[in-house]
A and B are shown apart, each in its own frame.
Chain A
Amino acid sequence: MHPATPPTANAPAARGHRTLHRRGLLRITAAMVALPLVLGATACGGDEEPSTDPNAKVELSIFWWGGEARAKLTEEALALYTAKHPNVTFKKTWQANQGYFDKLATLTAGGDAPDIFQIDDNYLTEYASRNTTLDLTKYKDEGKLDVSKFPKSLYEYGVVDGKFAGVAFGENTQGLVYNKSLLQKHSLPEPTTGMTWEAFIAWAANASKVTKVPGTMDPSADYKALWVWLRQQGKDLYKGKELGFTADDVTKWFELWKGARDQGATPTADVIHEGNATDITKQLVVTGKAGTSFVWANQMPELKKNTKDELGVIAYPGDPSAQWARASMYFSVFGKSKKADVAVDVINFLANDPEAGKVLGTDRGLPSNLDVRKTVSDSVNDPAMKQSIQVSNDLGTKFGPSPQVPLKGHSKVRSELIKFAEEVQYGRQQPAQAAAAYFEAAKAAIA
Chain B
Amino acid sequence: MALTTAPNPTPPARETVRASAKSRRPGRTRHGEGLAGYVFLSPWLLGLMAVTAIPMLLSLYLSFTNYDILTDLSDVEWVGLANYERMFTADPSYWHAVQVTLSFGLIAVPLKLAAALGVALLLNRAWRGVGLFRGLFYLPSLLGGSVALAIVWVSMFNRDGAFNSFLSLFGIEGKPWVNDPDWSLETLMVLAIWQFGAPMVIFLAGLKQVPTELYEAAAVDGANKLRQFLNITLPMLSPVIFFNLVLETINGFQGFTAAFVLSNGTGGPVDSTLMYTLNLYITGFTELEMGYASAMAWVFLVAIALITVVFFSTGRFWVHYSDGDGN
Q: Please report A residues at the B interface, Cβ cutoff 8 Å.
A: 2, 14, 22, 25, 28-29, 32-33, 36, 98-99, 101-102, 105-106, 108-109, 126-127, 130, 132, 268-271, 273-274, 276-277, 279, 409, 411-412, 415, 418-419, 422-423, 426, 428
Contact = CB atoms under 8 A, between A and B. Distances in A.
A53 B269 CA distance: 56
Contact of B286 (A32, A411, A423): A411
6 contacts: A32-B39, A32-B42, A33-B42, A36-B46, A422-B269, A428-B270
Interface string B269-290: 1110000000000100111101
B134 interface: no
A106 B36 CA distance: 38
B42 A411 contact: no
B70 to A, nearest CB: 4
B268 interface: yes
Contacts, number: 86
B179 A273 contact: yes
Nearest to A408: B288
Contacts of A127: 70
Contacts of B285: 102, 105-106
Contacts of B24: 14
Interface residues of B, number: 33
A14 B265 CA distance: 67
A25 B266 CA distance: 51
A65 to B, nearest CB: 14
B181 interface: yes
Interface in B1-58: 24, 32, 35-36, 38-39, 42-43, 46, 50
Interface string B235-268: 0000000000000000000000000000011101
Contacts of A415: 266, 282, 286
B46 A25 contact: no
A36 B50 CA distance: 10
A25 B35 contact: yes
B299 interface: no
B224 interface: no
A25 B179 contact: no
**Which 9 A/B pairs are nearest by Cβ-Cβ distance?**
A270-B179, A270-B176, A102-B285, A130-B70, A109-B69, A132-B70, A105-B69, A422-B270, A273-B269
Contact of A101 (B42, B179, B270, B286): B286
A270 B262 CA distance: 13
B313 interface: no
B270 A419 contact: yes
Contact of A130 (B68, B176, B264): B68
Contacts of B42: 29, 32-33
A13 to B, nearest CB: 13
Contacts of B39: 25, 28-29, 32
A99 B36 contact: no
A98 B285 CA distance: 12
Contacts of B186: none
Nearest to A12: B26
Given A2-B35, A106-B285, A108-B69, A99 B265 contact: yes
Contacts of A105: 69-70, 285, 288
Contact of B32 (A22, A126, A269, A270): A22
A127 B32 CA distance: 54
Contacts of A32: 39, 42-43, 46
Given A32-B43, A36-B50, A127-B70, A271 B287 contact: no
B181 A29 contact: no
Contacts of B271: 419
Nearest to A106: B285
A109 B76 CA distance: 12
Contact of B36 (A25, A36, A274, A279): A25
Contact of A423 (B36, B158, B270): B270
Contacts of A99: 265
A270 B266 CA distance: 15
A145 B24 CA distance: 78
A426 B271 CA distance: 12
Contacts of A418: 266, 268
Contact of A422 (B69, B176, B268): B268
Contacts of B46: 32, 36
B39 to A, nearest CB: 6
